[in-house]
Amino acid sequence: MIQVQNLDFSYSKKSQLFSQLNWESRTGNIIGMLGKNGAGKSSFLRILAGLLFPNSGQVSVLGFSPEQRNQTFLSEVFFVPDENFLPGYLPAERYQQILQPFYPRFDSEIFTRLLDRFEVDSQEKIKNLSFGQQKKVGLAMALSSGCALILLDEPTNGLDISSKSAFRKELISVLSEDQTVVIATHLIRDLENTLDRVMILDQGQIKLDADLSDLADSLHFGVSQSEVSGAIYSQSSALGVQFIQERTTQAQTVVNLELLFEGVTSGVPIASFLSKTNSLTA
Ligand SMILES: Nc1ncnc2c1ncn2[C@@H]1O[C@H](COP(=O)(O)OP(=O)(O)OP(=O)(O)O)[C@@H](O)[C@H]1O
C-alpha cells in the first residue's frame, strides 16, 4: 500500500530532514505517526500526498508515484492538513456536494451523520465556524470519502474532549478493512485504544514501527513506588516510577504510548525487545 525506499528530503541544502528513510505499510491499519515538534510528521504526510517531492529515493502509494498526482491516485487519497483547507464562503453541505464526484465511494449519509454527531451546522458558511468546527468538517469529509488512504495531520488538535472521543469512535466504526489511515500527532493520549500500529519518527529516521499487539505481547508496562530492576526504560512521574520491562511471565498490559515514545526518543532500542519480525528500528 505504501512503500518508501531510501527517501532523502530537505527544505534547504543546509539541513536534511529525512535521510535514507525506509518504511512500508499494510492495508487496513490505523497507523499513528508519532514525533516531537519538528520531527517531520507533516512533511512526511505531504510527501505521501504528493504535495512535496523527495530529493531522492522511491515513494509508492497504492502503486502510484505521489508526485505525479495521477487522477486515480487523487481519488483514492484524502489528506486533511493541520491548518484549515476548506473554502470559507461555502456551507459544509454545499462543499460536500461539489467534492463528492471526485471520490467514487463517497458516502453522503455518513457525512451528514458525522456532522450531526460532531454538532456542526452544515448550512453555515465554513468561515463562520470555529477552528474546531472547521476541523470537524474536514474530518467528516475524510471519513466519508471512502478513500483507500486517509492522511490526517493532528486531527484532534482543536477538538474539545467529547469531540475527541466521538472522533475516535467514528474512526473505528466508519472505516472498512480495505482502508488505511495514517495519523500524525504529538497528542499521543488522544489516540489511545485507536491504533493498530505505531511508527515513531525522530531525527530524520523511523526509530520504531510496530503493531500494538506485538508491543503488548513483548513488553510489560507498569508503575512502581521504587526503581524496578530489569527495566528497559523508566521515568519518574507523579504516580511513581513508570517502567517498561521485557515481558516474560508478567500479565499483558495496555501499551503506554507516552512512555514508549519517551523511551524510543531517548535512544532505548525498544524494537530489539519485540518478538515479531515485522517490527523494525532504524
Ligand atoms: N515550508 C517549509 N520551509 C522550510 N522549512 C520547513 C517548511 N515546513 C517545515 N519546515 C521545517 O521542517 C521541519 C519539519 O517540519 P514538520 O512541520 O514536517 O514537522 P512536524 O513533525 O509536523 O512538527 P509539528 O509537530 O510541530 O507540527 C521543521 O524543522 C520545520 O521548520
Atom of ligand 1 nearest to the CA of 12: 4
Q: Is the pLDDT score of 248 beyond 90?
A: no
Percent of the chain with pLDDT over 70: 98
**Atom 31, ligand 1: residue with shortest CA distance:** 38
Q: Residue 278 falls within a domain, yes or no? A: yes
Write out residues with Cβ below 6 Å of ligand 1: 11, 17, 35, 37-43, 186
In degrees to the nearest 10, what's the CA dihedral of 8, 9, 15, 19? -30
Q: Residue 271 falls within a domain, yes or no? A: yes
Q: Are 132 and 167 in contact (CB under 8 A)?
A: no
pLDDT value at residue 276: 55
- Mark out the alpha helices in the chain (DSSP H runs): 41-49, 71-76, 92-99, 108-117, 131-144, 161-174, 212-218, 257-265
Cβ within 8 Å of residue 130, ≥6 positions away: none
Q: Residue 56 falls within a domain, yes or no? A: no
Residue whose CB lies within 8 A of the most ligand 1 atoms, among 13, 15, 18, 42, for a mutation test: 42
**Atom 24, ligand 1: residue with shortest CA distance:** 37
Buried b (16+ CB within 10 A) or exposed e, 111-148: bbbbbeebebebeeebeebeebbbbbbbbbbbbbbbbb
Q: Residue 257 falls within a domain, yes or no? A: yes
Q: Is the pLDDT score of 121 beyond 80?
A: yes
pLDDT value at residue 24: 94
Q: Residue 255 falls within a domain, yes or no? A: yes
Q: Give 124-139 pLDDT, tens digit per residue.
A: 999 999 999 999 999 9
Rounded to two decimals, what is the model's pTM?
Answer: 0.94
Q: How far apart are CA 206 and CA 167, in angstroms?
A: 27
- Complex prediction ipTM: 0.97
Atom of ligand 1 nearest to the CA of 201: 21
Q: Residue 88 falls within a domain, yes or no? A: no
> What is the count of structural domains for the chain?
1
Q: What's the residue count for the chain? A: 282
Q: Residue 97 falls within a domain, yes or no? A: no
Q: Is the pLDDT score of 279 beyond 70?
A: no
Q: Residue 107 falls within a domain, yes or no? A: no
Q: Give 175-218 pLDDT, tens digit per residue.
A: 999 999 999 998 888 888 899 999 999 998 999 999 999 999 99
Domain that residue 262 falls in: 209-282
